[in-house]
A and B are shown apart, each in its own frame.
Chain A
Amino acid sequence: MAEPILSVRGLETFFRPDEGIVRAVDGASFDLHPGQTLGIVGESGCGKSVTARSILRIVDRPGRVESGEILLRRADGQVVDIAKLDAKSALLRDIRGGEVGYVFQEPMSSLSAYHTIGNQLMEAIRLHRDVSKADARARAIELLRMVGIPRPEQRVDSYSFELSGGLRQRVMIALALAAEPRVLIADEPTTALDVTTQAQILDLIRRIQRERNLAVILITHDMGVIAEMADTVAVMYLGKVVETGPVDTIFHAPRHPYTQALLRSIPSVLATPLSRLATIAGSIPHPYARPPGCPFHPRCESFIAGTCDAGAPPVTGLAADHEVRCFLYDDAGTRRA
């Protein structure tokens, strides 16, 4: 495959509040290719959003990227390590929005209520492109049309609170694409929406991705959305990427006990009515009380006493594009008895 546009290696983002240390992202690695969608999936507290925010270096304090590389291949072919950039540098501001667009989960709180959506779009355009106000406005209307907002010439002057949730999320996407980035990060873009609106937004993301050969990182807790959208998948649990692989492998031949258990426990429209669901025992530990060794071991069915609770499991390659972080597999990738 061609060179990845974004390559994250050993990313560690920690929060150091007064009470201790939270390893929100504890060694995440993955590659992203143009025209492809990487799905990052996991439950609350697994670090999927912090991973995404780390890529743009917009992690809220007291969190910060501690180590690792975030290598972005820019349009001119140069590779920059975002993790090493100065937080206030002009280059980083160029990358935010210009190279990497970000769609936030809550369109209501991420859009300004004091500015018209047109003004917000024009600001984003003029931040990255040297164009006149009139040209920026024309471009803003064009963007609104592209994301499927009806009557864009009039809507450009409305405020975010005048729009429905689905339309607001479309505006968010238009905003993220205003400066024509080549990477789009969408953090739970459809979680606050109804299923029918979710289907519209997912369709929109797919269409724009095709048209622009966008590389997309899709963050979600919804395995159904992942199955629908992703080419490759990274499954996270308590800050660790526990398994990565092509979407078909993750759903049909998952190897990590967490991925397996998660897939068994999701309700499906294909299930028999009134049937019980398989469950994962216990609940997600509190971030200050992270279990030693493999973070999943207290809930794991294949727990090996003395091993899983002693040290962190290594990453094992099972195939060229399929990796798992679990003691159950030896160096050759075969499962231990």
Chain B
Amino acid sequence: MSAQPPVLAVENLKKHFPIRRGVLRRIVGHVKAVDDVSFAIARGETLSLVGESGCGKTTTSRCILRAVTPTSGAIRFRSGEGRDVDVAALPRSELRPVRRQMQMIFQDPYSSLNPRMTIADIIGEPLLVNGIGNLAERRQRVAELLDVVQLPRAYLNRFPHAFSGGQRQRIGIARALALNPQLIVADEPVSALDVSVQAQIINLLLELQERLGLSYLFVAHDLSVVKHVSHRVAVMYVGRIVEVAPTATFFRNPRHPYTEALLSAVPVPDPRRRAQRIVLEGEVADPSNPPPGCAFHPRCRYADERCERVTPTLQPAAGGSLVACHRAAELNLVGVAAA
């Protein structure tokens, strides 16, 4: 990345949810949803966070927005004016100006829009809440935002039920853009959409990034979508990042056995490429009681006795990857490549 300071730098982020039992609600354990996660996102960059359900990717994104308060760690956010703030340590009362600059796009375009508000009110609400402009100026801004997401201005006074899933997702994107944010956290923004509409929204997100210099944290499980939208990809497994790499390297030369298994599980839309897949046995480890050593070792076909004892840390590997695997240097893992 460039010498410019990153928009977002997450350092040693942890979020442990207590498990309470009994009449006294005593804490009997912790779910380590996010366990020592660090990454940075540059201006204009998309970092995708991928992994299976329960791996902590959504909790990580919610910590960044302070929708949940992290247990420990720092979330350094560089605002548009060049000020650095630690979102994790900020008192609640000071969150609003920071949140203006980081917005969220949700997965389900059906439940994330208030059915009783018009499109104009939905998109204009962030402006209203933050006391920006008068009524006429807000109207003007909302109309511009509709242009940006390529919806006709005539739709301003309609209600969400009149729109298709793709159009609703455009409305959600317009709302997220209303306050000129630096960073957009998109949690599975296209997974609820039909294939033909999904492509339109992916293209829109790419276009907006180029035009507005947005940074995206893209949370997704669909690696095909991730390949299209990301500059870099981070894989999480049971609360930890096990690999971060530039997109092309990530897909061509995975360094972590879990990444290799994930890539091999993706169905390729070509019947001539029915490859022999690596089918992972068993299930994702329980984050309240993760296995000792590397949490992936019980499912890993390359694991040796060191993996059962010592938790690996992220180390640089060739091609700009960071990988948390004891055997990364000796393994020659298979990625996906065009025929």
Do these two chains interact? yes
Find residues 207-247 in chain A having any chain B CB closer than 8 Å to their own CB. 221-228, 230, 247
- Chain A residues near B337 (CB, 8 Å)? 270
- Chain A residues near B273 (CB, 8 Å)? 227
Number of interface residues of B (CB under 8 A): 50
* Bound Cα distance A252, B270 (Å): 8
Query: Given A268-B269, A283-B197, A196 and B224 touching (CB < 8 A)?
Result: no
Is B228 in contact with A277, judged by CB distance below 8 angstroms?
A: yes
- Chain A residues near B199 (CB, 8 Å)? 265-267, 277-280
* Bound Cα distance A262, B199 (Å): 10
Q: Mark A174-208, 1 if CB is under 8 A from B, else 0.
A: 00000000000000000000111111101100000
**A269 CB–B CB distance under 8 Å:** yes
Query: Given A196-B52, A279-B200, A266 and B195 touching (CB < 8 A)?
Result: yes
Is B272 in contact with A248, judged by CB distance below 8 angstroms?
A: yes
**A251 CB–B CB distance under 8 Å:** yes
Q: Mark B38-54, 1 if CB is under 8 A from A, else 0.
A: 00000000000000110
Number of interface residues of A (CB under 8 A): 49
Of B222, B268, B270, most A-chain CB atoms within 10 Å: B270
Closest chain-B Cβ to A311's Cβ sits at a distance in Å of 24
* Bound Cα distance A120, B271 (Å): 37
**A284 CB–B CB distance under 8 Å:** yes
Closest chain-A Cβ to B160's Cβ sits at a distance in Å of 15
**A77 CB–B CB distance under 8 Å:** no
Is A194 in contact with B224, judged by CB distance below 8 angstroms?
A: no
Q: Of A166, A196, A263, which is within 8 A of B265 by CB?
A: A196
- Chain A residues near B230 (CB, 8 Å)? 273-274
Is B203 in contact with A276, judged by CB distance below 8 angstroms?
A: yes
- Chain A residues near B264 (CB, 8 Å)? 199
Is A195 in contact with B262, judged by CB distance below 8 angstroms?
A: yes
* Bound Cα distance A270, B167 (Å): 28
- Chain B residues near A224 (CB, 8 Å)? 224, 266-269
Is A225 in contact with B268, judged by CB distance below 8 angstroms?
A: no
The residue of chain B having its C-beta at the shortest distance from the C-beta of A264 within the complex is B199
* Bound Cα distance A104, B77 (Å): 45
Of B53, B199, B273, most A-chain CB atoms within 10 Å: B199
Of B166, B206, B224, B269, most A-chain CB atoms within 10 Å: B269
**B289 CB–A CB distance under 8 Å:** no
Q: Mark B253-269, 1 if CB is under 8 A from A, else 0.
A: 00000000111111111
* Bound Cα distance A220, B197 (Å): 16
Q: Of A221, A225, A276, which is within 8 A of B194 by CB?
A: A221
Query: Given A200-B280, A227-B271, A269-B251, A274 and B265 touching (CB < 8 A)?
Result: no
Is B224 in contact with A266, judged by CB distance below 8 angstroms?
A: yes
Closest chain-A Cβ to B152's Cβ sits at a distance in Å of 13
The residue of chain B having its C-beta at the shortest distance from the C-beta of A228 within the complex is B267
Closest chain-A Cβ to B203's Cβ sits at a distance in Å of 5
Is B197 in contact with A267, judged by CB distance below 8 angstroms?
A: no
- Chain B residues near A195 (CB, 8 Å)? 52, 221, 223, 262, 265-266
The residue of chain B having its C-beta at the shortest distance from the C-beta of A198 within the complex is B265
- Chain A residues near B166 (CB, 8 Å)? 283
Is B270 in contact with A251, judged by CB distance below 8 angstroms?
A: yes
The residue of chain A having its C-beta at the shortest distance from the C-beta of B190 within the complex is A267
Is B272 in contact with A269, judged by CB distance below 8 angstroms?
A: no
- Chain A residues near B231 (CB, 8 Å)? 273-274
- Chain A residues near B229 (CB, 8 Å)? 274
Q: Mark A73-89, 1 if CB is under 8 A from B, else 0.
A: 00000000000000000
Is A263 in contact with B269, judged by CB distance below 8 angstroms?
A: yes
Closest chain-A Cβ to B57's Cβ sits at a distance in Å of 12
Q: Of A202, A223, A267, A277, which is within 8 A of B222 by CB?
A: A267
Is B269 in contact with A271, judged by CB distance below 8 angstroms?
A: no
**B277 CB–A CB distance under 8 Å:** yes
Q: Mark B277-292, 1 if CB is under 8 A from A, else 0.
A: 1011001000000000
**B198 CB–A CB distance under 8 Å:** yes
Find residues 215-243 in chain B having any chain A CB closer than 8 Å to their own CB. 221-225, 227-231
- Chain B residues near A302 (CB, 8 Å)? none
- Chain B residues near A112 (CB, 8 Å)? none
Closest chain-A Cβ to B163's Cβ sits at a distance in Å of 9
- Chain B residues near A196 (CB, 8 Å)? 52, 261-262, 265, 279-280
- Chain B residues near A277 (CB, 8 Å)? 199, 202-203, 228
A195-B223, A198-B265, A228-B268 known, 5 other contacts, Cβ within 8 Å: A43-B195, A251-B271, A267-B227, A279-B196, A284-B194
B interface, CB within 8 angstroms of A: 52-53, 164-167, 194-200, 202-203, 206, 221-225, 227-231, 247-248, 251, 261-274, 277, 279-280, 283, 336-338
23 residue pairs from A and B, CB less than 8 Å apart? A43-B194, A43-B196, A44-B194, A194-B52, A197-B283, A198-B267, A199-B264, A221-B195, A224-B266, A224-B269, A228-B268, A230-B271, A247-B271, A261-B196, A267-B199, A268-B224, A269-B251, A270-B338, A271-B224, A273-B231, A273-B247, A274-B229, A277-B202
A interface, CB within 8 angstroms of B: 43-44, 164-167, 194-200, 202-203, 221-228, 230, 247-248, 251-252, 261-263, 265-271, 273-280, 283-284, 299
